[in-house]
Amino acid sequence: MDVLKDISAAKETFWLNPNLKAVNDADFPISDEQISDASKRLERFQPFLERTFSDCPDGIIESPLKEISGMKTSLNEDGADICGRLFLKMDSHLAIAGSVKARGGVYEVLKYAESLALREGILKEADDYSLLCDQKEFFGQYTIQVGSTGNLGLSIGITAAALGFKVIVHMSSDARQWKKDMLRSKGVTVIEYDDDYSKAVEEGRRNSDADPMSYFVDDENSVDLFLGYVVAAERLAKQLDEQNVKIDADNPLIVYIPCGVGGAPGGVAYGLKRRFGDNVHCFFVEPVQCPCMLVGMATGRHNEVCVQDFGLSGITEADGLAVGRPSGFVGKTMENLLSGIFTVEDKRLFDWLRKLNVEENVQIEPSACAAFAGPADRMKHDDSKKYFENIPIEKCIEVCWATGGSLVPGEIMQQYLTAYVED
């Protein structure tokens, strides 16, 4: 496969999914019932979230959808060909965790807390869930553990610590210091590994399995985590409606999402395919040194392959995407639903980070900027160009999913704004 030659050479490329199907013929392994169950659970937790997190005053963890016309013009000046409308889905500014992980991570912790509280008789489904604000001693008997490159740890750590759980976050060497510091300040135990994400997960799982009172959040296989992300789709549909943006066959929705292990982009894209069917086209973006989902899906070997098998380092400035081995669960779930995957060089992430800052006064982290590879490059690669020839691009709605950034400390953002600048 030519695309795998590009991958091994760490060249920017595009993989077109040959297994994409029309939704009527596609496999949707997660049921609508599971999705509405997740959505209702988040509703039940509204009073709890409202009382616990000052940045979540209505108890709904949701982010703005912002049209970014200045960014569109600027990308076009650099050679892109965006002729429809361009939007930014600002999960970078989600409450609690400042990243897309505030969807999946928070949801999984809430679900676990609910299951314990129901089981032990301290909660009924019909109760006002804000009563869980005062159960720290109860939850303190239990431990929650997770392996993370940073942001998942933040979302799990902040939520679980607020409920009263003991929390242990196993951080890979990619994790930024400020994320570890922030967690420790909230009483979370952070264990650091001089190794990659897969190692942090493995150690976390082992540690948790050895303790009967410990629960492990499994980023690679968790259906609950995935469901937390899926709910984003109905929320986006509502926002598009509110902004009078119609999505149909003549006005398709194109969505670009940065991908690490796959859970967040997979869940969001799955929900969107369920909601908008053939009128939405979903693409992932990965760093050239870390295209784990691409190698997994393109070879069909999913979590049996890793980027090191293709001679890549797995090292990237996009810390949220620094995952060498993909989730097999997500790769298989997205087999008929994902349109394709772009890869992007690190340096360009910082160009877009600056551009977004100047044009829109929005600050996001490098990982999140990967989304711009979609609109920037879709006419550059032969296979993506071919794909888009069948789409009425002058009428399409393009959404770049900004996956993180609002918790980045000011001085670190200043470093990002000057990184890789050539004199």
Ligand X SMILES: *Cc1c(COP(=O)(O)O)cnc(C)c1O
Could you list the residues that contact ligand X (CB under 6 A)? 99-101, 151, 258-265, 320-321, 323, 365, 367-368, 403-404
* Residue 366 Cβ vs ligand X, minimum distance, rounded to whole Å: 8
- Within 13 Å and on the Cβ side, how many CA atoms surround 318? 36
Q: Which residues pair with 256 in a beta bridge?
A: 283, 400
Cα separation, 42 vs 46, in Å, equals: 6
Is 258 within 8 Å of 370 (Cβ atoms)? Answer: yes
Choose between 258 and 271: whose C-beta lies nearer to ligand X. Answer: 258
Alpha helix stretches (DSSP H) within 14-150: 32-44, 46-52, 69-77, 101-119, 136-139
* Residue 301 Cβ vs ligand X, minimum distance, rounded to whole Å: 18
Choose between 132 and 182: whose C-beta lies nearer to ligand X. Answer: 182
Choose between 123 and 160: whose C-beta lies nearer to ligand X. Answer: 160
Cα separation, 260 vs 14, in Å, equals: 16
How many other β-carbons are positioned within 10 Å of the β-carbon of residue 69?
14
Choose between 132 and 188: whose C-beta lies nearer to ligand X. Answer: 188
H or E element: which one contains 85? strand 85-90
How many other β-carbons are positioned within 10 Å of the β-carbon of residue 55?
13
* Residue 80 Cβ vs ligand X, minimum distance, rounded to whole Å: 21
Choose between 149 and 279: whose C-beta lies nearer to ligand X. Answer: 149
Classify residue 383 by burial, with Cβ atoms within 10 Å: 0-12, 13-18, 19+: middle
Please, which residues have CB within 8 angstroms of residue 390's CB and are 6 or more apart in sequence?
Answer: none
* Residue 330 Cβ vs ligand X, minimum distance, rounded to whole Å: 8
Is 209 within 8 Å of 87 (Cβ atoms)? Answer: no
* Residue 24 Cβ vs ligand X, minimum distance, rounded to whole Å: 27
Q: Which residues pair with 144 in a beta bridge?
A: 167, 215
Choose between 201 and 247: whose C-beta lies nearer to ligand X. Answer: 201
Place of tokens 């948790």: 208
Cα separation, 226 vs 304, in Å, equals: 20
Choose between 88 and 247: whose C-beta lies nearer to ligand X. Answer: 88
Choose between 3 and 368: whose C-beta lies nearer to ligand X. Answer: 368
Q: Which two tokens stand for residue 410?
A: 């000011």
* Residue 261 Cβ vs ligand X, minimum distance, rounded to whole Å: 4
Max Cα-Cα span within the chain = 65
Tally of residues, the chain: 423
Cα separation, 177 vs 190, in Å, equals: 11
* Residue 66 Cβ vs ligand X, minimum distance, rounded to whole Å: 17
Please report the DSSP string for 279-319 in residue order.
GEEEEEEEETT--HHHHHHHHT-GGG--GGGGT-----S-G
Choose between 167 and 323: whose C-beta lies nearer to ligand X. Answer: 323
Place of tokens 């149909």: 248
Choose between 174 and 377: whose C-beta lies nearer to ligand X. Answer: 174
* Residue 13 Cβ vs ligand X, minimum distance, rounded to whole Å: 19
* Residue 201 Cβ vs ligand X, minimum distance, rounded to whole Å: 11
Give the CA radius of gyration of the chain: 20
Is 300 within 8 Å of 335 (Cβ atoms)? Answer: no
* Residue 121 Cβ vs ligand X, minimum distance, rounded to whole Å: 34
